[in-house]
């Protein structure tokens, strides 16, 4: 696979070195094109050394006066990746402006184009940037969504370029998605993931340490296999790498209940991975609760609605419903009870007793228990591989029940 990497002038350009390294390590052939401003942030020498190819920075090669043929470069590539893409270059791409070799190559490229923007949060939010993004999508270009976090300006929010590892994952998944094996083409998936935060007052809440990684990995794998995917996501900084996955952000168990139950009737599959709070404060103080000398505090908690149970009760014959169980003891027995109680097709058990499994980890160790009394135990693996084991079982069940 040949990747043409376009680098624009953004502080995120320093991450492009790592990106080239990862791509080369993965077996991609990489050629780099840089804008003038990109060369202020990182040197062409670094990138030519890492990519093992000369870097193109202008239409001609310096003193020799040789022509850098952008049309040939565009034809050479299996995909063009612009990372980081600055607000300036995005605007030019959206409007057909061609005042440097990167833009000329973009205009002549016949291969799929993927764009990983990077900018400050207000630039990202600006309507002109957003309309440029929409325009580029309408041309068939793929946007690798920006990530949330600390920005070079010191502000915190959306605008960071996707991490090089995530861009690589994106390419991998995209390759998988363009494979013939689109087992879930035309199927609609609704997932829940992450924690929920139950407010006590305007600054405090009851929450848990779920990162949403497992649910996001399943959402990405389902999308890669051709599904239309919506993920109802509790408060976490993580986002799926594919901009094509619909993300509905929620805060509380009640919001998650509303958003999920609204969407499930039109779905083929529900996979609920969220660590939903089981209890919520009965009242939320409008103002911050002040401590009083010598006094403790007690909170009255009420039960939240069980989203999974509700979906199980309203499941249609063609729908598949998958739940998760996180147990600390008697795992199989408890998971079996939940499978029946919540009317699931299968349940994924992970035990906190297993090292490397559960919240925050990149790995997980699961057991699948299904409604036909099958029990499958899996080794400790990355959450990505666990996601494909879960989807394999879903596919297996689908065939069996057909």
Binding of ligand CTP by 218 (CB under 6 A): no
Asked if residues 187 and 359 have their Cβ atoms less than 8 Å apart, the reply is: no
Asked if residues 47 and 39 have their Cβ atoms less than 8 Å apart, the reply is: no
37, 255, 306, 392: residue in contact with ligand CTP (rule CB under 6 A): 306
Q: Which of 200, 219, 368, 195 is nearest to 277 (CA)?
A: 195
Q: Which stretch binds ligand CTP (CB under 6 A): 74-82, 121-129, 238-246, 273-281?
A: 273-281
Within residues 60-99, the interface with ligand CTP by CB under 6 A covers none
Phi (first) and psi of residue 214, to 5 degrees: -65, -45
Binding of ligand CTP by 326 (CB under 6 A): yes
16, 35, 141, 304: residue in contact with ligand CTP (rule CB under 6 A): 304
Q: How far apart are CA 101 and CA 263, in angstroms?
A: 46
Instruction: Count CB atoms within 10 A of the CB of residue 273.
Output: 25
Q: 53, 69, 208, 343: which is the annotated catalytic residue?
A: 208
CA dist list (Å): 363 to 38, 89, 375, 385 = 36, 38, 20, 9
Nearer to ligand CTP, 83 or 253 (CB): 253
CB of 195 to ligand CTP, least distance (A): 11
Q: How far apart are CA 140 and CA 226, in angstroms?
A: 17
Nearer to ligand CTP, 147 or 259 (CB): 259
Within residues 178-207, the interface with ligand CTP by CB under 6 A covers 192
Helix/strand/coil percentages in the chain, nearest 5: 35, 25, 40
276, 357, 387, 391: residue in contact with ligand CTP (rule CB under 6 A): 276
Nearer to ligand CTP, 83 or 326 (CB): 326
Number of residues lying near ligand CTP (CB under 6 A): 16
5, 162, 232, 325: residue in contact with ligand CTP (rule CB under 6 A): 325
CB of 113 to ligand CTP, least distance (A): 37
Within residues 235-264, the interface with ligand CTP by CB under 6 A covers 253
Q: Which of 234, 253, 233, 255 is nearest to 245 (CA)?
A: 233
Token pair of 396, please?
């297996």
144, 307, 366, 368: residue in contact with ligand CTP (rule CB under 6 A): 307
29, 37, 163, 278: residue in contact with ligand CTP (rule CB under 6 A): 278
308, 390, 394, 397: residue in contact with ligand CTP (rule CB under 6 A): 308
Q: How far apart are CA 176 and CA 219, in angstroms?
A: 14
Binding of ligand CTP by 315 (CB under 6 A): no
Q: How far apart are CA 186 and CA 291, in angstroms?
A: 55
324, 351, 383, 394: residue in contact with ligand CTP (rule CB under 6 A): 324
Nearer to ligand CTP, 95 or 330 (CB): 330
In the residue annotation, 166 being an active-site residue is answered as no
Nearer to ligand CTP, 9 or 270 (CB): 270
Q: How far apart are CA 360 and CA 224, in angstroms?
A: 23
Q: Which sign does the torsion angle of CA 214, 215, 218, 223 carry?
A: negative
Nearer to ligand CTP, 173 or 252 (CB): 252
Burial of 181-201, coded b for 16+ CB within 10 Å and e otherwise, reads eebbeebbbbbbbbbbbbbbe
Binding of ligand CTP by 274 (CB under 6 A): yes
Which residues make up the interface to ligand CTP (CB under 6 A)? 192, 253, 272-274, 276, 278, 304, 306-308, 323-326, 338
Q: Which residues are catalytic?
A: 208
């Amino acid at each position: 696979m040949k990747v043409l990497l376009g680098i624009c002038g953004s502080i995120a350009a320093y991450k492009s070195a790592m990106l080239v390294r990862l791509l080369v390590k993965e077996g991609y052939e990489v050629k780099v094109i840089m804008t003038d401003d990109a060369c202020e942030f990182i040197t062409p020498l670094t990138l030519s050394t890492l990519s093992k190819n000369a870097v193109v920075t202008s239409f001609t090669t310096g003193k020799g006066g040789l022509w850098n043929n952008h049309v040939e470069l565009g034809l050479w590539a299996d995909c063009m990746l612009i990372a980081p893409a600055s607000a300036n270059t995005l605007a030019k791409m959206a409007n057909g402006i061609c005042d440097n070799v990167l833009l000329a190559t973009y205009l002549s490229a016949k291969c799929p184009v993927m764009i990983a923007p990077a900018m400050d949060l207000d630039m990202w939010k600006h309507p002109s940037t957003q309309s440029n993004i929409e325009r580029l999508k309408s041309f068939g270009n793929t946007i690798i969504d920006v990530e949330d976090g600390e920005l070079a300006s010191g502000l915190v929010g959306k605008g960071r370029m996707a991490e090089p590892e995530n861009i690589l994952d994106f390419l991998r998944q995209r390759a998988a998605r363009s494979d013939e094996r689109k087992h879930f083409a035309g199927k609609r998936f609704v997932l829940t993931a992450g924690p929920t935060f139950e407010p006590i007052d305007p600054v405090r809440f009851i929450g848990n340490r779920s990162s949403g990684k497992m649910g996001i990995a399943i959402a990405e794998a389902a999308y890669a296999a051709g599904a239309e995917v919506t993920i109802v996501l509790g408060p976490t900084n993580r986002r799926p790498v594919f901009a094509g996955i619909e993300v509905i952000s929620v805060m509380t168990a009640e919001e998650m209940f509303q958003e999920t139950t609204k969407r499930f009737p039109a779905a083929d599959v529900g996979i609920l991975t969220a660590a939903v709070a089981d209890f919520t404060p009965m009242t939320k103080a409008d103002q911050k609760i002040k401590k009083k000398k010598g006094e403790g505090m007690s909170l009255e908690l009420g039960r939240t609605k069980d989203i999974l149970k509700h979906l199980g009760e309203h499941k249609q014959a063609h729908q598949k419903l998958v739940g998760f169980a996180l147990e600390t003891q008697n795992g199989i027995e408890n998971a079996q009870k939940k499978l029946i109680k919540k009317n699931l097709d299968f349940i994924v058990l992970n035990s906190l007793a297993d090292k490397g499994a559960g919240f925050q980890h990149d790995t997980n160790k699961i057991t699948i228990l299904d409604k036909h009394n099958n029990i499958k135990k899996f080794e400790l693996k990355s959450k990505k591989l666990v996601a494909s084991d879960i989807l394999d079982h879903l596919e297996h069940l689908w065939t069996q029940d057909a």
